[in-house]
Amino acid sequence: MFSKISRIQQIFFAFVVFIFIASCEYDFIQPPAVIIPEVLSFSDDVIPIFNESCNGSGCHASGFGILDLSPENAYNDLFVKSLINIDVPDQSELYQKLTEPNGTHVGRSTPAQQAIILEWINKGAKNN
Protein backbone atom coordinates (compact mmCIF):
# COMPACT_ATOMS: atom_id res chain seq x y z
CA MET A 1 0.00 0.00 0.00
CA PHE A 2 2.82 2.39 0.87
CA SER A 3 4.35 2.06 -2.59
CA LYS A 4 0.97 2.84 -4.24
CA ILE A 5 0.56 6.04 -2.23
CA SER A 6 4.12 7.00 -2.92
CA ARG A 7 3.65 6.34 -6.66
CA ILE A 8 0.40 8.37 -6.70
CA GLN A 9 2.16 11.22 -4.91
CA GLN A 10 5.01 11.10 -7.43
CA ILE A 11 2.59 11.25 -10.36
CA PHE A 12 0.65 14.09 -8.74
CA PHE A 13 3.86 16.02 -8.03
CA ALA A 14 5.08 15.50 -11.61
CA PHE A 15 1.69 16.68 -12.90
CA VAL A 16 1.80 19.84 -10.71
CA VAL A 17 5.35 20.62 -11.84
CA PHE A 18 4.38 20.10 -15.49
CA ILE A 19 1.34 22.39 -15.17
CA PHE A 20 3.46 25.02 -13.42
CA ILE A 21 6.16 24.97 -16.08
CA ALA A 22 3.68 24.82 -18.96
CA SER A 23 1.70 27.74 -17.60
CA CYS A 24 4.67 30.09 -17.47
CA GLU A 25 4.24 32.52 -20.27
CA TYR A 26 6.17 35.69 -20.82
CA ASP A 27 4.92 38.46 -23.00
CA PHE A 28 7.47 40.97 -24.18
CA ILE A 29 6.41 44.35 -22.95
CA GLN A 30 7.20 47.01 -25.46
CA PRO A 31 8.51 50.14 -23.74
CA PRO A 32 6.52 53.25 -24.51
CA ALA A 33 7.76 55.17 -27.51
CA VAL A 34 9.82 58.20 -26.69
CA ILE A 35 8.37 61.26 -28.33
CA ILE A 36 10.97 63.96 -28.73
CA PRO A 37 9.78 67.40 -29.77
CA GLU A 38 11.09 68.62 -33.12
CA VAL A 39 12.46 71.76 -31.47
CA LEU A 40 14.05 71.24 -28.08
CA SER A 41 14.36 74.04 -25.61
CA PHE A 42 16.78 74.02 -22.70
CA SER A 43 14.35 75.94 -20.51
CA ASP A 44 11.19 74.08 -21.58
CA ASP A 45 12.48 70.53 -22.06
CA VAL A 46 15.75 70.02 -20.17
CA ILE A 47 15.31 72.19 -17.06
CA PRO A 48 12.06 70.38 -16.10
CA ILE A 49 14.01 67.10 -16.13
CA PHE A 50 16.61 68.59 -13.80
CA ASN A 51 13.89 70.00 -11.55
CA GLU A 52 12.14 66.64 -11.33
CA SER A 53 15.13 64.32 -11.12
CA CYS A 54 18.08 66.31 -9.81
CA ASN A 55 17.01 69.39 -7.87
CA GLY A 56 14.05 67.93 -5.99
CA SER A 57 16.25 65.91 -3.67
CA GLY A 58 18.56 68.89 -3.19
CA CYS A 59 21.56 67.07 -4.64
CA HIS A 60 22.04 69.52 -7.50
CA ALA A 61 20.04 72.47 -6.29
CA SER A 62 21.74 75.84 -5.98
CA GLY A 63 24.31 75.82 -3.21
CA PHE A 64 24.06 72.10 -2.39
CA GLY A 65 26.39 70.16 -4.61
CA ILE A 66 29.35 70.17 -6.91
CA LEU A 67 27.04 70.69 -9.89
CA ASP A 68 24.33 73.35 -9.77
CA LEU A 69 21.40 72.35 -12.00
CA SER A 70 19.06 75.06 -10.79
CA PRO A 71 17.28 76.85 -13.66
CA GLU A 72 19.37 79.99 -13.32
CA ASN A 73 22.78 78.23 -13.16
CA ALA A 74 22.46 74.87 -14.94
CA TYR A 75 23.55 75.88 -18.43
CA ASN A 76 26.72 77.63 -17.26
CA ASP A 77 27.65 74.87 -14.84
CA LEU A 78 27.23 72.13 -17.47
CA PHE A 79 29.70 73.85 -19.78
CA VAL A 80 32.11 75.22 -17.18
CA LYS A 81 32.47 71.71 -15.77
CA SER A 82 32.79 70.17 -19.27
CA LEU A 83 29.83 67.84 -18.91
CA ILE A 84 28.62 68.41 -22.48
CA ASN A 85 30.45 67.04 -25.52
CA ILE A 86 28.79 68.47 -28.62
CA ASP A 87 31.21 66.61 -30.94
CA VAL A 88 30.34 63.18 -29.50
CA PRO A 89 27.02 63.68 -27.67
CA ASP A 90 26.69 60.16 -26.27
CA GLN A 91 30.12 60.63 -24.66
CA SER A 92 28.90 63.67 -22.73
CA GLU A 93 29.48 63.12 -19.04
CA LEU A 94 25.98 64.40 -18.29
CA TYR A 95 24.43 61.73 -20.54
CA GLN A 96 26.76 58.98 -19.34
CA LYS A 97 26.02 59.70 -15.67
CA LEU A 98 22.34 59.07 -16.42
CA THR A 99 22.82 55.94 -18.49
CA GLU A 100 25.87 54.04 -17.17
CA PRO A 101 24.68 50.74 -15.66
CA ASN A 102 26.94 51.05 -12.61
CA GLY A 103 26.76 54.81 -12.28
CA THR A 104 25.61 56.73 -9.25
CA HIS A 105 22.71 58.30 -11.14
CA VAL A 106 21.11 55.14 -12.51
CA GLY A 107 17.35 55.14 -12.05
CA ARG A 108 17.16 58.86 -11.41
CA SER A 109 15.84 59.58 -14.89
CA THR A 110 13.59 57.77 -17.33
CA PRO A 111 14.66 56.55 -20.76
CA ALA A 112 12.46 59.30 -22.24
CA GLN A 113 14.26 61.97 -20.20
CA GLN A 114 17.63 60.52 -21.19
CA ALA A 115 16.60 60.58 -24.86
CA ILE A 116 15.56 64.23 -24.60
CA ILE A 117 18.88 65.20 -23.02
CA LEU A 118 20.85 63.30 -25.65
CA GLU A 119 18.84 64.85 -28.48
CA TRP A 120 19.30 68.32 -26.96
CA ILE A 121 23.06 67.74 -27.01
CA ASN A 122 22.85 66.31 -30.56
CA LYS A 123 21.14 69.52 -31.68
CA GLY A 124 23.95 71.68 -30.30
CA ALA A 125 22.99 72.04 -26.62
CA LYS A 126 21.64 75.53 -27.11
CA ASN A 127 20.59 77.78 -24.25
CA ASN A 128 17.10 78.53 -25.52
Residue 15 confidence (pLDDT) = 79
The per-residue pLDDT for range 58-95, each reduced to its tens digit, is 788 787 778 999 999 999 999 999 999 999 999 999 99
Lowest average pLDDT, out of 20-29, 45-54, 70-79, 90-99, goes to 20-29
In the chain, pLDDT over 70 holds for what percent of residues?
Answer: 91
Q: Which residues contact residue 11 at a Cβ distance below 8 angstroms, ignoring those fewer than 6 apart?
A: none
Amino acid at site 110: T
Length of the chain: 128
Question: Would you tell me how many other CB atoms lie within 10 Å of the CB of residue 98?
Answer: 23
Rounded average pLDDT over 6-16: 81
Sign of CA pseudo-dihedral 97, 98, 100, 106: positive
Q: pTM for the full model?
A: 0.73
Q: Are 40 and 119 in contact (CB under 8 A)?
A: yes
